[in-house]
Amino acid sequence: MVEKKNDDCACQDGTVPNKEGKCVMPEVTFSAFVMSLNTSVLFHLGEIGDPATGQKTVDLDLARHGIDTLTLIEQKTKGNLSNDESEMLKNILYDLKIRFVQIAKK
C-alpha cells in the first residue's frame, strides 16, 4: 500500500512516496478511480480551475458524459462493491447531478 503524501514531501505531479521513499503513482483502487472521474466532472462543471491557468470553464456536454459514465459504472458494478464503495459512488453521483442541474439553470 502506498503511504499518504504529506506537506514536506518532495514528490510532485500527483505522485506519492512509497515505503522506500521513491515517488510513484498512487495505488489504483476503485475509490481512487471514482474520485478521478468525480474530479473530471467537477472540472467540466467549472467547480475546479485549470491547474495551469486557474481559469474555470463550463462544458455541460463533457460533464454530462462523466456523470453518465459514473452511472454506468454504478449499474454494472451493482452487487459487486463493498458497502463503502457503493455509498461513495451513490453520494458522488447525487452531488454531481445536483451541481449539474444548478449550473445548467444559470
Question: What integer pLDDT is reported at residue 74 of this predicted model?
Answer: 98
Evaluate if residue 26 carries a pLDDT over 80.
Answer: no
Evaluate if residue 1 carries a pLDDT over 60.
Answer: no
pTM of the model: 0.79
pLDDT digits 0-9 by tens, 48-97? 999 899 999 999 999 999 999 999 999 999 999 999 999 999 999 999 99
d(CA 68, CA 66): 5
| Residues ≥6 apart with Cβ < 8 Å to 49 | 55, 56
* Phi, psi values for residue 39, rounded to 5°: -60, -40
